[in-house]
Structure 1
Amino acid sequence: MEEAFQTWRELLGWVIRDSQKRQHLAEAIGVNPVTLTRWAVNKSNPRPDALRSLVAALPQYHEQLSRLIAEEYPYILTENLAESEGAMEVVPSSFYAQILNIHTTNPPVLRASSICLAILQQMLKQLDPQEEGIAIFIAVCVPPAQQGRKVRSLRKSWGRGNMSWHGQLEHWSQFFGAESQTGCSAVSGRPIVVMSHGEREQLFPAHLHPKLGSSVTWPILLSDSIAGCLCIISERPNCFSQSQLDVIQSYADLCALAFEPDEFYNLRQLELGIMPSYRAQQVYVASFQQHVQRRMLQAAQRGQFITRPQAELFVWQELEERLLQLSLEIGKQIPEGEIFPSNAWFGPDEKQNGAL
């Protein structure tokens, strides 16, 4: 049997020819079954840690598989790989230079979006080079409508992703409150890592999704003040290694350069409310642009001038207040003891079975 295979990809293709075996192997090494097929037909290349997991999951082919892998990747299974792979799990020095250049050359009105989108794109490329399915977004603290009031929610502002079920991440908006992983991470000022669906069911029962495996929320801090959270989600369970969590922290630190000093709020200023489900929010968010235009027209009719960003902020604050009130109204209708139906927080096009 050994002489029949010329490459490790041929051997893998023979092993996964049975769909049930393919599914079991995919679960064992933490990838999608489709990913195994792409490896076998040379449509994509696995990460070093994935190749090591593949060898470990097929002990009956250990010697043959290791030899064939070594022909394509001579050093992939050696102990020296740990050092070379570790060097990849850092923010490239050239990217630090890029962000500093954006920070110093862009006008304030463009600085935040330019920095955040550059960071999200770089993270997507670095954390998921094989496009196995992750999404990354930044949720920012919604400024209180009146001075002296508390921060009541965060709102997704920028996002990038390659999940097949995620829809167009950059085009949807959503508020997050105390019921969410994002909100809990913001209030505590600490990162929260969830590695499985079962763990999520225990920690955030109002935010379940059948296709979601792992998620990380990392606060964007400046000393003891917060501007928002960097959020990463994956379809795969146990997706994030410690080296990846370290690099996520570095990117969260870089995100702080995107915000002005008055966009950071002391952690004691956060008093998050409960937000309704994504779908309940969309009834109101869908008309956001019309409300912005109406606000600017009304100001012009009164002889006042407001910029579009100012009008947008006013409307977001109005929507936040309405949604917080809606949650209270919904909560009064739920029998005591039932879980608040806040539903999934990750995509506009998902039809979660019985939950979204």
Structure 2
Amino acid sequence: MEMEATAWRKLLENIIADAQERQRIANRLGVNPATLVRWARGETNPRYENLQRLLKALPEQQETLTQLLLEEFPTFDMPVGEDISEQIPAEIYSRILNTYVNMQDAQRSWYMSDLIMQLALGQLDPNYLGMAITIAHCMPPSGVAHKVCSLRQNTGRGTPPWNTYLDQGLLFLGIESLAGYAVSVGHLVTVQSRTEQTFTPVRWEEWEKSAVASPILLGGRVAGCLIISSTQPGYFLEFRQKLVEQYTELLTLAFRSEEFYALRDIELSLMPSQETQRLRFSQFRQRVSDVLREASQKQHPVTVREAEQIVWADLEADLLALPISHHS
């Protein structure tokens, strides 16, 4: 039965009137945005742990909101001890597993990747300081040695100054990159600032002040890498690194078993600069269309996904064949 909207619910209703803020808070709490609307309307009551997370997600309104919550929930109190933001809430695990079991095979990889990036972004950058999260997939083995020679970074998620959707981040990464290094050594790698003295390879991008790369591992095999950049130097403290590792473990659900490769089959090459690569990406869609048309003419039709994989492999081969002068 619907309850009368109390003062804290009215405050929440005003806050979540902005769709972007509603999504941010939902990601931070690990709930659906519709759940916040039901709380605001008095249709349901949040559990105490969700009220605590709500306070954490709204630092500017925390004092006022605490007082209003106590009017409806006299026994409620602020959390003590360990900061709940230092662990992934149970609701997030539940939401991810529910999505996994209910998603069709053809859609599972994209939806799982996007959902996990959204939720990780909500917890790792709750105050919108500026963060970018991308996933790089291992390219299928190629060459005479039949080894994985590069990672393909595709879509991602971000908070300002990055765009919400990082669809323009398409890039092949090799051993010259932080992600490539993390995949090669088989464990999480972080660089805390541009001025840090380190032998770890990293190519800094605009706005990026610290970064972490965590290989996506399952049973000693690797499928790719989770890459996270922050506008804040020194942002990836130990507790955040543990969170990154936990979200990376969840990302194994977004990959098929055949997309994981033994570490001994990883021999990443040096890939050309972003500028050189993007010049060659401009004709990607046209090349996919050409593959589809040629396959149809030969009466051996392929799917769009298969055509894309063929073009990616051709692009990788083209880039690997370029002289070293294109790698700076």
TM range (shorter): 0.7 to 0.9
SS of corresponding position for 2:225: strand
SS of corresponding position for 1:254: helix
Q: Which residue of 2 aligns with 1:144?
A: 141
Work out whether residues 201 and 208 of structure 1, in 8 Å CA contact, stay in contact via their aligned partners in 2.
Answer: no
Do the aligned partners of residues 200 and 152 (structure 1) sit closer, same or farther apart at CA in structure 2, a change above 3 Å counting?
A: farther
Work out whether residues 197 and 210 of structure 1, in 8 Å CA contact, stay in contact via their aligned partners in 2.
Answer: no
Q: Which residue of 2 aligns with 1:100?
A: 97
Q: Which residue of 2 aligns with 1:222?
A: 218
User: Is 1:192 equivalent to 2:189 in the alignment?
Assistant: yes
Deviations 1:170-221 (A, max 9, x none): 233100001110100001111101101012775336x134632110000100
Work out whether residues 121 and 131 of structure 2, in 8 Å CA contact, stay in contact via their aligned partners in 1.
Answer: yes
The structure 1 residue matched to 2:258, chosen from 245, 262, 274, is 262
The structure 2 residue matched to 1:164, chosen from 161, 164, 167, is 161
Q: TM-score, normalising length from structure 2?
A: 0.73
Shift of 1:241: 2.3
Distance 1:200 1:300 in 2: 54
Count of equivalent residues:
263
Shift of 1:46: 11
User: Is 1:174 equivalent to 2:171 in the alignment?
Assistant: yes
Distance 2:279 2:321 in 1: 14
Q: Which residue of 1 aligns with 2:81?
A: 83
Do the aligned partners of residues 302 and 189 (structure 1) sit closer, same or farther apart at CA in structure 2, a change above 3 Å counting?
A: same
Distance 1:310 1:71 in 2: 55
Q: Which amino acid aligns with 2:96?
A: I
Runs of 4+ in structure 1 off by over 6 angstroms are 45-48, 69-74
Shift of 1:324: 1.0
Shift of 1:140: 0.6
Distance 1:158 1:229 in 2: 13
Distance 1:305 1:200 in 2: 52
Work out whether residues 189 and 212 of structure 2, in 8 Å CA contact, stay in contact via their aligned partners in 1.
Answer: yes
Do the aligned partners of residues 120 and 259 (structure 1) sit closer, same or farther apart at CA in structure 2, a change above 3 Å counting?
A: same
Shift of 1:88: 2.2
SS of corresponding position for 2:321: helix
Do the aligned partners of residues 82 and 171 (structure 1) sit closer, same or farther apart at CA in structure 2, a change above 3 Å counting?
A: farther
Work out whether residues 161 and 207 of structure 2, in 8 Å CA contact, stay in contact via their aligned partners in 1.
Answer: no
User: Is 1:212 equivalent to 2:208 in the alignment?
Assistant: yes
SS of corresponding position for 2:81: helix
Work out whether residues 194 and 210 of structure 2, in 8 Å CA contact, stay in contact via their aligned partners in 1.
Answer: yes
Q: Which amino acid aligns with 1:192?
A: V
Distance 2:311 2:66 in 1: 55
User: Is 1:295 equivalent to 2:291 in the alignment?
Assistant: yes
Do the aligned partners of residues 94 and 147 (structure 1) sit closer, same or farther apart at CA in structure 2, a change above 3 Å counting?
A: farther
Deviations 1:218-243 (A, max 9, x none): 01000210000011000110112222
SS of corresponding position for 1:158: strand
Q: Which amino acid aligns with 1:164?
A: P
Q: Which residue of 2 aligns with 1:315?
A: 311
Do the aligned partners of residues 99 and 291 (structure 1) sit closer, same or farther apart at CA in structure 2, a change above 3 Å counting?
A: same
- Percent identity, aligned pairs only? 33
**What's the RMSD between the two structures over aligned residues?**
2.8
Unmatched segments (≥5 aa) in structure 2:
1-53, 68-77
SS of corresponding position for 1:169: coil
Distance 2:292 2:283 in 1: 15
The structure 1 residue matched to 2:280, chosen from 263, 284, 288, is 284
Distance 2:108 2:205 in 1: 34
User: Is 1:246 equivalent to 2:250 in the alignment?
Assistant: no
Higher mean alpha-carbon deviation, 244-253 vs 157-166, is at 157-166
Q: TM-score, normalising length from structure 1?
A: 0.68
Higher mean alpha-carbon deviation, 207-216 vs 314-323, is at 207-216
5 Å matches for 1:7-18? none
Shift of 1:143: 1.0
Structure scoring higher RCO (CA < 8 A, sep ≥ 6) equals: 1
Distance 1:123 1:72 in 2: 25
SS of corresponding position for 1:197: coil
